[in-house]
């Protein structure tokens, strides 16, 4: 039986955050640049044709009714920073950090509300 002390929650969370940031920054470069199976399924039955206005779909498919997302021009669109595909890892770090901040804030608020509810 081991007599070592358990890892503190703070130490665990710090280690978890470091591993998540490492994965977000390094492994994201190995991801496919076109991983979306939904896009392939919705364009089935159509052909992409180049026109003066850009690419357009010709045929009968679900994607013909699609429009651009309102945030498609945002700084982190398409898992890049400002449209620069070589900054995928930076976008991953920003996304992971934002997730930690939002989740941490929500957990802090929930814990605070629970403490206030149980205190006399």
The pLDDT profile of the chain, 120 residues, written as one tens digit per residue, is 555 567 788 899 899 999 999 998 888 777 766 667 888 888 889 998 898 888 888 999 988 888 888 888 888 887 788 888 788 889 889 989 999 999 999 999 999 998 888 766
pLDDT at 106: 96
Task: Work out how many domains the chain is built from and give that number.
Answer: 2
Task: Please indicate, yes or no, if residue 9 is contained in any of the structural domains.
Answer: no
Give every CB contact of residue 85 below 8 A, 6+ residues apart in sequence. 33, 78
pTM for the predicted model, two decimal places:
0.63
59: in domain: yes
Residue 90 lies in a domain: yes
Domain that includes residue 82, residue range? 78-119
Question: What is the pLDDT, as a whole number, of residue 94?
Answer: 92
84 located within any domain:
yes
Cβ neighbours of residue 87 under 8 Å, at least 6 residues apart?
A: 80, 81
Looking at the domain assignment, is residue 7 inside a domain? no
Kindly state whether residue 11 falls inside one of the protein's structural domains.
Answer: no
- 113 assigned to some structural domain: yes
Residue 5 lies in a domain: no
Q: Round to whole Å and give the CA distance between 76 and 95.
A: 9
């Amino acid at each position: 039986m081991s007599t070592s002390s358990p890892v503190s929650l703070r130490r665990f969370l710090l280690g978890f955050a470091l591993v998540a940031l490492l994965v977000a920054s390094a492994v994201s470069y190995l991801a496919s640049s076109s991983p979306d199976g939904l896009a392939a399924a919705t364009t089935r039955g159509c052909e992409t044709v180049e026109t003066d206005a850009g690419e357009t779909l010709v045929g009968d498919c679900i994607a013909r009714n699609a429009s651009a997302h309102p945030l498609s021009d945002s700084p982190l669109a398409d898992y890049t920073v400002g449209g620069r595909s070589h900054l995928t890892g930076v976008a991953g770090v920003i996304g992971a950090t934002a997730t930690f901040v939002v989740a941490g804030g929500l957990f802090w608020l929930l814990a605070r509300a629970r403490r206030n509810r149980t205190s006399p």
